[in-house]
Amino acid sequence: MSAFAAATTVRRRNDDTTSYDVDLDAGWSIGGKPNGGYLMAVLARAATDAAGRPHPLAVSGHFLRPPNGGQAEVRVEVVKTGRTVSTVRATLWQDDRPCLDSLVTAGELAGDPVDYAGVAAPELPSPEECRSRAEAPFRVELLDHVDVRLDPATAPFPQPNGRPLIRGWMRFHDGADADAMALALAVDAMPPTVFHLQRLGWAPTVELTFLLRGLPAPGWLSFEAVATLLADGWFDESATVWDSTGRMVAQSRQLALVGRG
């Protein structure tokens, strides 16, 4: 089992598909708080298991309060089951308080050829020519597991460039290839784009929508993240992820608070 699969394992309570025990791994954190994409993957595992469908086609998560590493519970409700998809509500609870509430559309992708793609994967230097995110001047626990390489032209360190756009590569350090669940993490593994606007520090996500667009081929994932508006202490961020063949496999959009250094 890969480190990511182990860290996102969910366990039914006594054959009860409405409640799952989880052990949140603090090693997948940023500043001591579990990464939002990691938490979304945990909820997606519980939701797809409850629905009996393999893939989280869409996940919309509302972050109510940051949980800590350790024991937690996912409570699920299958809202609707149809021929093609099921809709599941999944909520992460810790210490008798809800931390993350989500709605998951569960179904199955067959891996069919792409009929149309309006956005191509960006032209990037090789991973070896890119800057490791681990070079940032602060510790990110997540990077012990995820190798994130930033295109030097878009890396926000050592010097922000004033344009909130970041591109690069990512893969797991243990050599495991990304699967559908791992893409929920991939859309949230890059530094906040507003670092380029001198807004440094923890930028907590308030709402994040993840779309699974394809089943990734083995190898490096490439990504692009961009913000379009920073105002009143809030910013949006859209991310797109492509697999090693150049196929778009994931998209996301989130609303977040500006960094608190």
198-211 pLDDT, tens digit per residue, is 998 889 999 999 99
Other Cβ atoms closer than 10 A to 196? 21
**Topology adopted by domain 127-257:** Porin (2.40.160)
Q: What angle do CA 182, 187, 192 make, to 5 degrees?
A: 135
Separation between Cα atoms, residue 38 and residue 201, nearest integer Å: 19
Say if residue 137's pLDDT is above 70: no
Q: Which of 46-50, 106-110, 165-169, 256-260 has the lowest mean pLDDT?
A: 256-260
pLDDT digits (tens, 9 = 90+) for 39-87: 999 999 999 999 999 999 999 999 999 999 999 999 999 999 999 999 9
Between 59 and 16, residue with greater pLDDT: 59
Q: What pLDDT is recorded for position 202?
A: 82
Say if residue 259's pLDDT is above 80: no
- The answer to whether 20 and 188 are in contact (CB under 8 A) is no
- Average pLDDT, whole number, for the chain? 95
Residue 261 pLDDT grade (very low, low, confident, very high; cuts 50, 70, 90): low
Q: Report residue 181 CA to chain centroid gap.
A: 9
Reported pTM: 0.95
CATH superfamily of 3-107: Acyl-CoA thioesterase, double hotdog domain (2.40.160.210)
Which residues, including other chains, have CB under 8 Å from residue 169's CB and lie 6 or more apart? Answer: 124, 127, 130, 148, 149, 220, 221, 222, 223
- The answer to whether 214 and 249 are in contact (CB under 8 A) is yes
113: helix, coil or strand? Answer: coil
Q: Where in the chain is the domain with CATH 2.40.160.210?
A: 3-107, 127-257
